[in-house]
Amino acid sequence: MRERMEKALRKSNAEYTEIRIENVASSWANFRGEELDKIGSSRTLGGIVRALVKGGWGYATFNDLDAIEDRVKEACESARLVGKEQSKLAEVEPVVDEITATLEKDFRQVSLSEKKSVIEQYNKIILGYNDKIETSNVGYRDSFRKVWYWNSEGTFIKDERPDVGVVISATAREGDNVQQGFESHAGSSGFQIIEGLGKKAEAAAKRAVDLLSAPPVTGGEYTVIMNPKLAGVFAHEAFGHLSESDFVYENERMKELMVLGKCLGSNILNIIDDGTIPGLRGTHKYDDEGVKTRKNYLIKDGILAGRLHSRETAAKMGEQPTGNARAIGYQYQPIVRMTNTYIDKGDATFQDMIRDVGLGLYAIDMVGGQTSMEMFTFSAAYGYMVRDGKIAELVRDVVLTGNVFQILMNIDKMGDTVECPPAGGGCGKGGQSPLPVGFGGPHVRIQNVVVGGR
Amino acid sequence: MIVNRLIEKAMRKAQGAQASLEQSESTDVSFENDKLKSVKSSQSTRMGVKVILDGKIGLSHTTDSDDVDGVVARALEAAEFGSPAHFRFPGPQDGPDVKVFDDAVLSVTKEKMVRIGEEMIGLVKEYKSDILLSAGVDKSAGRSQFANSAGTEYTTEATAFGVWVNGQLIRGTDILWAGHGFGWKKREIDHVEIAENAIELFKMAENIAPIRSGIMPVIFAPQGVNVLLLALTLGFNGKNVFLGSSPIAGKLGEKIADERFSITDNPLLDYAIASGKYDGEGVPHCTTPLIEQGVAKNFLYDLDTAGRSGTKTTGNGVDCHPTTLVIKEGDTPYEEMVKNIREGLIVHDVLGLGQGNPISGEFSVNVLLGYKIENGEVVGRVKDVMLAGNTYEAIKNISAIGDKAEWAGGSLLTPPIGIAKLSVVTK
Ligand SMILES: [Zn+2]
Based on the domain organization, do B323 and B194 belong to the same domain? no
Q: Which of A62-71, A264-273, A360-369 shows the lowest mean pLDDT across its residues?
A: A360-369
Query: pLDDT grade, residue A454 (50/70/90)?
Result: low
Chain A residues close to B55, C-beta within 8 Å: none
Q: What percent of chain A has pLDDT over 90?
A: 85
- Structurally, chain B folds into a number of domains equal to 2
**By CB neighbour count within 10 A (0-12 exposed, 13-18 middle, 19+ buried), where does A243 fall?**
buried
CA-CA distance, B353 to B409, in Å (whole number)? 16
Say if residues B279 and B89 touch (Cβ distance below 8 Å).
Answer: no
Q: Considering CB atoms only, which of A29, A42, A67 is closest to B62?
A: A42
The answer to whether the CB of A412 falls within 8 A of the CB of A445 is: yes
B306 and B186 in one domain?
no
**Residues A307 and A255: beta-carbon distance below 8 Å:** no
B158 and B71 inside one domain: yes
When scoring B169, B241, B351, B397 by the number of chain A Cβ atoms within 10 A, the one with the most, hence best to mutate, is B351
Interface-testing mutation among A207, A370, A371, with chain B (most B C-beta atoms within 10 A): A370
**Residue B146: pLDDT band with limits 50, 70, 90:** very high
**Is residue B179 domain-shared with residue B221, that is, in the same domain?**
no
| Nearest by CB: A78 against B39, B356, B386 | B39
- Assigned CATH for A2-213: 3.30.2290.10
**What does pLDDT average to over chain A?**
94
What pLDDT sits at residue B336? 98
Residues of A in contact with B87 (CB under 8 A): none
Q: Tell whether the model's pLDDT for residue B82 goes beyond 90.
A: yes
In the predicted model, what is the mean pLDDT of residues A5-30?
96
Compute and round to an integer the Cα radius of gyration of chain B: 24
Across residues B162-187, what is the average pLDDT?
A: 94
Please indicate, yes or no, whether residues B328 and B198 belong to a single structural domain of this protein.
no
Residues B101 and B211 in one domain: no
Asked if B364 and B282 sit in the same domain, the reply is yes
DSSP codes, A97-133: EE-----SS-GGGS-HHHHHHHHHHHHHHHHTS-TTE
Show which of B154, B170, B204 is a domain's final residue: B204
pTM summary value: 0.93
Question: What's the rounded mean pLDDT across residues B354-374?
Answer: 89
> How far, in Å, from the CA of B192 to the mean position of ligand 1?
32
Ligand 1 centroid, distance to A402 Cα (angstroms): 16
Res A379: pLDDT: 86
What tens digit of pLDDT does each residue of B283-299 get? 999 999 999 999 999 99
Nearest CA in chain A to B73: A41
- Give the pLDDT score at A421: 87
Nearest Cα of chain B lies from the Cα of A138 at a distance, in angstroms, of 13
CB atoms within 10 A of CB B114: 17
CATH number at residue B188: 3.30.2290.10
Instruction: Please report the pLDDT score of residue B139 as a whole number.
Output: 98
Average pLDDT over residues B112-138: 97
Task: Name the domain boundary from B176, B204, B232.
Answer: B204
pLDDT tens column, B225-238: 999 999 999 999 99
A-interface mutation test, from B114, B175, B304, most A Cβ less than 10 A away: B175
- Residue A370 CA to ligand 1 center (angstroms) comes to 7
Phi, psi of A144 (to 5 degrees): -120, 110
Runs of H (alpha helix) within A293-380: 311-317, 350-354
For the segment A95-105, the average pLDDT, to the nearest whole number, is: 96
Q: Model confidence at A374, in pLDDT bands (50, 70, 90)?
A: confident
Question: Do residues B195 and B222 both lie within one domain?
Answer: no
User: Both B156 and B275 in a single domain?
Assistant: no
- Cβ(A396)–Cβ(A382) below 8 Å: yes
Of B204, B229, B264, the last residue of a domain is B204
Q: Is residue B174's pLDDT more than 90? A: no
**Ligand 1 centroid to A437 CA: how many Å?**
8
Q: What is the pLDDT of residues B8-26, one digit of tens each?
A: 999 999 999 999 999 999 9
Whether B103 shows a pLDDT value over 90: the answer reads yes
| Residue from the list B247, B352, B427 with its beta carbon closest to the beta carbon of A379 | B352
Contact A450 B425 (CB under 8 A): yes
Query: Which residue range is the domain that position B42 belongs to?
Result: 2-204
Q: Are residues B291 and B195 in the same domain?
A: no
User: pLDDT digits over A127-161, tens only?
Assistant: 999 999 999 999 999 999 999 999 999 999 999 99
Q: What is the pLDDT of residue B244?
A: 87
> What is the distance in A from the centroid of ligand 1 to the CA of A237?
6
Cβ B64–A378 below 8 Å, yes or no? no
Nearest by CB to B357, from A62, A180, A253: name it: A180
Ligand 1 centroid vs A435 CA: distance in angstroms? 9
Minimum Cα–Cα distance from A181: chain B residue: B357
Check: complex ipTM more than 0.90: yes
* B358 and B235 in a common domain: yes
> What is the rounded CA–CA span in Å between residue B328 and residue B415?
7
Residues of chain A with CATH 3.30.2290.10: 2-213
Cβ <8 Å between B33 and A176: no
For residues B339 and B392, state if they share a domain. yes
Mean pLDDT confidence for B152-176: 94
